[in-house]
């Protein structure tokens, strides 16, 4: 569908064409404030543009979504629906019709063993990426399979398989310009005394340096002792930290988990800080 086929004011169409957006769907990948700055349109015009484009795209192939690969627990479908319901309060610049159907663009794959994971990453995921159906790949988690399938004496074969899996993920990210996120990749370090709890703050890479060195950016989220409240909700305070990144300083931010998502919070306040979103 071309811009001329949309029922929009010619002035809006001219502003969009001036910035040379490649397609209609690119409009849906840009936030409202960014569209305002990019096109010079008013907030009302941008909202009309997004709503019209979202309606026009509903009958065509879906906008880019995400692939979520589960290796341990079932996919958290109930939590996803809760997040979708809460997006209206967070993203007022996004049309409601687009938010309601966002769950349709999450592709879930269950991989019970390493062979299934490799088949998924090397065969099925590239098809979705090539068709531009997804722009995010989440693996939850790589560590679960490797820790279950290999013994300590199999370290050489495990390292070979780790590098092979890493190569596949890096290739997907590079060739299709997509983001790859691997979660739950650390393990607690327990103390040597008789206590059953882990050492305070003691965590290490679950698969050792062989895997840690393959990751470009490492983020750590840990629970703190405090609890924060907001309205009828309460959450255990978390700390999101940059452990390693070539383009980011080693810093952190306090955050809390609410019904609508993960948001940054001020240390001395219990309300959510505007703009400090840590999703």
DSSP states of 57-108: HTTSSPPPEEEEEESSSPP-HHHHHHHHHHHHHH-TTS-HHHHHTGGGGEEE
Residue 118's pLDDT is 92
- Residues 159-203 have pLDDT tens digits of 889 899 999 999 999 998 899 999 877 776 655 554 444 444 567
Which pair of tokens denotes residue 40? 């010079």
Instruction: Please state which architecture CATH assigns to domain 64-216.
Output: 3-Layer(aba) Sandwich (3.40)
Chain position carrying tokens 């998924």: 120
Q: pLDDT value at position 132? A: 78
114-121 average pLDDT score? 92
Q: The pTM is what?
A: 0.69
Mean pLDDT of 33-57: 83
Contact 105, 66 (CB under 8 A): yes
Report the pLDDT value the prediction gives residue 269, as an integer from 0 to 100.
45
- Cβ(234)–Cβ(252) under 8 Å? no
Question: The dihedral of CA 28, 265, 187, 163: what is its sign?
Answer: positive
Q: Dihedral of CA 270/272/274/275: which sign?
A: positive
pLDDT at 68 over 90: yes
How far is Cα 263 from Cα 183, in angstroms, rounded to an integer?
18
Q: Which of 266, 205, 200, 216 is nearest to 237 (CA)?
A: 266
Q: How many residues does the chain have?
A: 279
Domain map of the chain by residue range?
A: 1-60, 64-216, 219-279
pLDDT at 105 over 90: no
CA atoms within 13 A on the CB side of 139: 25
Check whether 139 has a pLDDT greater than 80. Answer: yes
**CA distance between the termini of the chain:** 33
**pLDDT of 267 higher than 60:** no
Contact 157, 210 (CB under 8 A): no
């Amino acid at each position: 569908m071309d811009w001329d086929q949309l029922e929009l004011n010619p002035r809006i169409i001219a502003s969009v064409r001036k910035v040379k957006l490649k397609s209609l769907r690119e409009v849906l990948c840009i936030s409202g404030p960014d569209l305002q700055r990019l096109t010079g349109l008013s907030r009302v015009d941008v909202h009309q543009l997004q709503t019209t484009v979202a309606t026009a795209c509903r009958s065509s192939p879906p906008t880019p979504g995400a692939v979520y690969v589960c290796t341990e627990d079932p996919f958290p479908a109930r939590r996803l629906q809760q997040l979708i319901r809460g997006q209206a309060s967070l993203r007022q610049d996004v049309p409601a019709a687009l938010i309601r159907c966002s769950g349709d663009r999450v592709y879930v794959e269950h991989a019970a063993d390493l062979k299934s994971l490799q088949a998924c990453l090397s065969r099925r995921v590239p098809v979705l990426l090539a068709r531009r159906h997804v722009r995010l790949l989440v693996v939850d988690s790589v560590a679960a399979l490797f820790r279950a399938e290999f013994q300590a004496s199999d370290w050489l074969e495990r390292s070979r398989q780790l590098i092979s899996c890493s190569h596949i993920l890096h290739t997907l990210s590079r060739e299709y310009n997509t983001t790859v996120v691997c979660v739950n990749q650390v393990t607690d370090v327990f103390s040597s005394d008789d206590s059953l709890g882990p050492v305070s703050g003691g965590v290490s890479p679950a698969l050792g340096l062989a895997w840690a060195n393959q990751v470009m950016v490492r983020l750590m989220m840990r629970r703190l002792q405090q609890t924060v409240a907001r309205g009828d909700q309460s959450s255990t305070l978390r700390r999101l930290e940059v452990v390693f990144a070539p383009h980011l300083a080693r810093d952190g931010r306090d955050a809390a988990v609410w019904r609508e998502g993960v948001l940054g919070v001020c240390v001395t306040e219990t309300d959510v800080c505007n703009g400090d979103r840590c999703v």
